[in-house]
Amino acid sequence: MTLIGSDKFTIVIGLGKTGLSCARYLSNLGEAFGVVDTRAEPPLLAQFRENYPGIPVECGELNADSLMQASRLIVSPGVSRDLAAIRQAEASGVEVLGDIDLFCRAARAPIVAITGSNAKSTVTTLVGEMAKCAGINVGVGGNLGIPVLELLANDEQQGGDEKELYVLELSSFQLETTSELRAAVATVLNVSPDHMDRYPNLMAYHQAKHRVYKGCEKAVFNGDDSLTAPLIPEVTPRAQFALKTPDIGNYGVITEGGEQFLARGLEKLLPVESLKMPGQHNVANALAALALGDAVNIPLQAMLDTLQKFCGLEHRCQWIRELNGVEYFNDSKGTNVGATLAAIEGFGNQLQRKGEGRIVLIAGGDGKGADFSDLKEPLLKWGRTAVLIGTDRESIADVLEPDISVLRVDGFKDAIEQARSAACPGDIVLLSPACASFDMFKGFEDRGDQFMAQVRALVEIEQPERAASEYSQPLDKDASEEKVSQDDQS
């Protein structure tokens, strides 16, 4: 189909959830637009044609001549703006943007913008819950759940109350086409290699993430991760969070009398033990949420009340059950090495404080071109064995063996059985794949749901007597502390 252009004609590229939200938004405004998709049969094509029968659609390889008929292109996150046809249209003067810029041009309330390789969804949801607890009319969405333009629809087009605050989770893909964010506060929570099948190197990925800081009024960054420090003018107010004693105006952890406290400067705010989310990485998430909420004046008491109630999100270090002295956790959202590393270290520190137990890790899937070598040191310190599944299991095994016990399995059920057999009382069985799920599952949710269902179906069994040698690699507190010290110096 040939697209018919005009002086004010928009082409939406990509007919997924975001593309459909763009179409709905433009249609409600009465603007002329068309849609293209690189797939021959996009999953939402039938729904789109039913809802918008008069709107032109092209499917298949992008046609530069068609794109150059438009005054602007709205590129969906799943489509790289580096495609030749898009670059050619842009070079000819066609504006290229994404749904986030469309949203920012219309939104009137302050925006909290959150990105990072990991923990985006947890921190975004947590800040949203803090705002709700304070009685603030907040819209939460973006890469998490609701497309941003749907938040505007709920405000205006459906007669809803106008939001007082927006809290947005933003992916690097979304930020590639975002130039007008100008958030009230923005953060990069952490940076570790991800999507290396889309970006040529870590620097390109880093640059995409840091677009979140462009024009922000305040910046929050991770004092434990130098790659998150904002490269913006020093006059922009900034605060940091870190798992250490904080300076004045920053957020961190104070240890007093053997107990850890969330703190702002020298002010103790909440005992870490009061958090419902397990693991040290979730302590960092709580600190990030406090810093972000403070930047947009969410009352402190509402934030602290929320932290004592919030149990975390599904598929993100989610406790399932204890069986025969072993705890099972679902971290299916651990779709990259950085996420799995955070989970291992978070639970490893927890086990170290207990003085017993190790981690049996279930990992593997589609690695997206990742380097898995960073998993070796924490598994040497805290792991008992790694049960590997999926397309890239051999890539993981290559960096772990022979120093770490590895079990290769074909099916998911077998992986759970092997993990159960390998675990000893006091251990944690952790599904944190460090990989995408699409080689074996519909998505990370499906992977996590299957894991939870199969773990809950396990029944108690009488434990046979085991030789002491089978409880190999117990946590040696002194040795572990010495190793941490050496790591800190490296």
Q: What digits encode the pLDDT tens for the residues 91-115? A: 999 999 999 999 999 999 999 999 9
pLDDT at position 34: 95
Q: Is 368 a catalytic residue?
A: no
Q: Is 336 a catalytic residue?
A: no
**Catalytic residue, candidates 143, 190, 282, 330:** 143
Checking if the pLDDT of 260 tops 90, the result is yes
Contact 76, 130 (CB under 8 A): no
Q: How far apart are the first and last CA of the chain?
A: 60
Give residue 89's pLDDT band: very low, low, confident or very high (50, 70, 90). Answer: very high
**Catalytic residue, candidates 118, 120, 222, 336:** 120
Residue 9: phi, psi to the nearest 5? -120, 125
Distance of CA 225 to the CA centre of its chain: 16
pLDDT at position 352: 83
pLDDT at position 153: 67
**Catalytic residue, candidates 195, 218, 281, 368:** 195
Give residue 1's pLDDT band: very low, low, confident or very high (50, 70, 90). Answer: very low
User: How many Å apart are CA 182 and CA 480, to the nearest integer?
Assistant: 44
Give tens-digit pLDDT for 395-428: 999 999 999 999 999 888 999 999 999 999 999 9
Give residue 378's pLDDT band: very low, low, confident or very high (50, 70, 90). Answer: very high
3-state secondary structure of 426: coil
Give residue 349's pLDDT band: very low, low, confident or very high (50, 70, 90). Answer: confident
Q: Is 120 a catalytic residue?
A: yes
Q: Return all residues near 285 (Cβ < 8 A) that are at least 6 apart.
A: 119, 122, 123, 126, 189, 277
Give residue 466's pLDDT band: very low, low, confident or very high (50, 70, 90). Answer: very low
Give tens-digit pLDDT for 28-37: 999 999 999 9
- Domains assigned to the chain: 9-97 (3.40.50.720), 101-307 (3.40.1190.10), 318-477 (3.90.190.20)
Give tens-digit pLDDT for 42-68: 888 999 999 999 899 999 999 999 999
Nearest to 263 by CA among 309, 219, 307, 217: 307
| Span 261-271, average pLDDT | 96
Q: Which residue has the higher pLDDT, 3 or 300?
A: 300
pLDDT at position 160: 56
Nearest to 440 by CA among 416, 411, 408, 414: 411
Give residue 163's pLDDT band: very low, low, confident or very high (50, 70, 90). Answer: very high
Q: Is the pTM of this model over 0.85?
A: no
Q: Return all residues near 47 (Cβ < 8 A) that are at least 6 apart.
A: 20
